[in-house]
Amino acid sequence: MSNPWEEISLDDYEKHMSLDSVRQLQAMNSIMQEQFSASPAETAMVLGIAGGNGLEHVRPEKFRRVYGVDINADYLRAVSQRYTELSGVLECLHTDIVNEVEKLPQTQLLIANLLIEYIGYGAFQKAVLQTVPEYVSCVIQINTDEKQWVSESPYLHTFDRLDEVHHQMEGKALTAAMAETGYTLILQESYPLPNGKALVRLDFMMKG
């Protein structure tokens, strides 16, 4: 059976995420600006890049390579078309992170925003061990409403199958998983959202 993310249209996803009642696309964009500038990394990888939200903050004079990874080939085509100014820096990789982790190249900075929810802590640990980044920056969603983790919107049924792959996230559990993998928490910030949910950014650095 296909991964649910291969069936969700980018247009529906982005319209849902940018609704005034959700505002996750806007919040993620400002967080990514910080993620790209916070470390001295010259190579970066964005796992679950979707339509490339936030890539306008990549400065070609700072980064010599940025990998955009996604399981949905249509998303990656949109990224390539939208960010032609990053030609020579941006490389899109059509990869199933859970089943094809060995395809991922090494990188100095690994960004995973609203992705670990869909692959689980164990698969994310394997991705970190494969890419051996010096810095890891993650964003997870914390839900106050346990009944419904996808925000109410006209596009809600677009996401019906995500229950098959969704994992509830918790900051302490992610920090513990990263510590097992050899990384120390160096930053934790929370960004409240309009609907009672919050985005939590957790940055890690390789020990030693």
**Residue 168 — very low, low, confident or very high, per pLDDT cuts 50/70/90?**
confident
- What are the CA-CA distances from residue 171 to residues 85, 90, 124, 158, 161 (Å)? 35, 30, 14, 27, 25
Does the pLDDT value for residue 121 go beyond 70?
Answer: yes
Query: 């296909």: which residue's tokens?
Result: 2
Alpha helices in 73-195 (DSSP H): 73-82, 116-131, 171-181
Which domains are delineated in the chain?
Answer: 4-206 (3.40.50.150)
What value does the mean pLDDT of the chain take?
91
**What local confidence, expressed as pLDDT, does residue 149 receive?**
47
**What local confidence, expressed as pLDDT, does residue 163 receive?**
82
- Would you say the pTM of this structure is higher than 0.85? yes
Does the pLDDT value for residue 148 go beyond 70?
Answer: no
- Across 80-84, 129-133, 160-164, 179-183, least confident range: 160-164
Say how far apart CA 188 and CA 118 lie, in whole Å. 21
Say how far apart CA 185 and CA 199 lie, in whole Å. 17
Q: Cα dihedral angle (164, 45, 32, 10), rounded to 10 degrees?
A: -50
Residue 20, amino acid: D
- What are the CA-CA distances from residue 133 to residues 106, 109, 111, 129, 203 (Å)? 7, 5, 10, 8, 12
pLDDT average, residue stretch 96-124: 97
pLDDT average, residue stretch 141-154: 64
